[in-house]
Structure 1
């Protein structure tokens, strides 16, 4: 096979700038492997990059590829790669915006072996949400018995975050819609409804105060955490960087935990049932625009996943 298929966009814009096209088959260089992609998660940050909203932080060059999360099968090895063999099932991430494709080249140190018990869909969407949640929980240093509030608690990152907090023995207050009540309750989380009375609802649920706050949605929640008396060093946001700088909160996300050791542990936790990674929907790569249309509603429970070979 001399070509692969990949998602591309030629300029910043709405999801209608996305298209799928034939591209030359990538070839692995030193320390790299070529992966046939079986599943690749999509993330809100990728939509923000495509719209140009993160140009100052993550500028795109055109034509641009897309996608970070991936899982697939190793089909070729570059020089010096000894941790993997052709035919190995792997999962990991690409910093080259290249996982939304049938094949992509990835540095070997950004991949780990996929546990056999882990589905392609879960493996292909684990890295960004998993490492982001891991970093955020570590950043606020949640301890057994402490109360931690989480915004967007039923989204892709939120579902992992609340479970990691519960595993630490924290009391978790998850801000989410009523539709997510049963799932959150089943995972040891007290749901707090969105709305005009959110501050009052949180205060009533934590009469002794909230010890830490993880924001997965926007600056209004960072301000809410401050208003509720949470110490800035125990507030972490993965999206509201300017607000965090204003109040002294943390901004630790996936980059702070994207290591083979963390990813291996997360994969093992999902494989053995300690963590659940809900899959909201899957789409063939040719329907990438539809996948982002669903993602951008911002009400999905769990991950949306592209299946490039479907």
Structure 2
């Protein structure tokens, strides 16, 4: 089968299609014939080498964490799906390899009829991440949350999930994306210099939580929240220096030491909630662009600009 991988750190061009052996579903897992799969911003940083000291790799490294497709193999003990069912879901964080013709999923849910394959292919990682952080921040009805980087793949989903919880949401994005954020239920503002003053104008009583999807602004975000414990980032590796929690779901390394020691529990319950919200018309997965599998390098290049509105996906 075809799979996307890289064998060295470097620019998007190191990503390529390789012919590899197809995986098979073990106990408690399923295999799907992939129709669409997501590009992970975290893997962009891994591929560049930026995170080599945080996430050590064994090459070749196969990319992709979430996918949607048709079940074609069911492992022992799995009773909730059958061959031919349409699902979306994610691999284990250790296995990955979802950017391929076939992938083994460790967690899944039925593909909502309202979602295209492209939406479903990029949904699971964003839903799990957004749910994990919103849970940690205790975002709920009547609380005000600032989503920094609200127009990106995780940000767009986080905004909608927070709105569905009854929260008041402020989202930062470039001005060109402000109407888009309003359509998702957020009050938009621009990022950058003067952010604290703009937030005070929008939320005179202050904000209860800050979800940082962008990175690079933690001092301002901590000042806005009033307490680093009320800020969670998924994008800023300097988090510890600011007393901020960096949320990730990385597994422990094979020695059982630090790599996974600070990982948060995966919020897999978010997948079934997403199905419910999608059926009610309350959750879409905005797709910035869809590329053929063979153009994975171009998809990585677009993600690296950090200006994509929504998820970037590969179609199979």
TM-score, normalized by length of structure 2? 0.88
Q: Which residue of 1 aligns with 2:151?
A: 154
2:68 equivalent to 1:71: yes
- For residues 155 and 287 of structure 1, the distance between their equivalents in structure 2, rounded to whole angstroms, comes to 21
Q: Which residue of 2 aligns with 1:55?
A: 52
User: Offset of 1:13 from its aligned partner?
Assistant: 1.2
- For residues 33 and 165 of structure 1, the distance between their equivalents in structure 2, rounded to whole angstroms, comes to 30
Q: 1:53-132 to 2 correspondence within 5 Å?
A: 53-94=50-91, 95=93, 96-107=95-106, 110-132=107-129
Q: 1:1-310 to 2 correspondence within 5 Å?
A: 4-94=1-91, 95=93, 96-107=95-106, 110-220=107-217, 222-243=218-239, 245-253=240-248, 256=264, 258-308=266-316
Is the partner of 2:238 in helix, strand or coil?
helix
- For residues 105 and 167 of structure 2, the distance between their equivalents in structure 1, rounded to whole angstroms, comes to 36
- For residues 170 and 32 of structure 1, the distance between their equivalents in structure 2, rounded to whole angstroms, comes to 35
User: Offset of 1:42 from its aligned partner?
Assistant: 0.7
Of residues 63-72 and 168-177 in structure 1, the stretch that sits farther from structure 2 once superposed is 168-177
Of residues 188-197 and 256-265 in structure 1, the stretch that sits farther from structure 2 once superposed is 256-265
On the 8 A contact 1:142/1:212 being kept in 2, the answer is yes
Is the partner of 1:83 in helix, strand or coil?
coil
Unaligned stretches of 5+ residues in structure 1: none
- For residues 90 and 60 of structure 1, the distance between their equivalents in structure 2, rounded to whole angstroms, comes to 29
- For residues 131 and 294 of structure 2, the distance between their equivalents in structure 1, rounded to whole angstroms, comes to 32
Unaligned stretches of 5+ residues in structure 2: 250-262
- For residues 100 and 141 of structure 1, the distance between their equivalents in structure 2, rounded to whole angstroms, comes to 33
- For residues 144 and 28 of structure 2, the distance between their equivalents in structure 1, rounded to whole angstroms, comes to 44
Of residues 162-171 and 6-15 in structure 1, the stretch that sits farther from structure 2 once superposed is 162-171
Deviations 1:21-54 (Å, cap 9, x if unpaired)? 2212223333332211111011210111112222
The number of aligned residues is 301
TM-score, normalized by length of structure 1? 0.89
Is the partner of 1:46 in helix, strand or coil?
helix
On the 8 A contact 2:195/2:220 being kept in 1, the answer is no
On the 8 A contact 2:115/2:284 being kept in 1, the answer is no
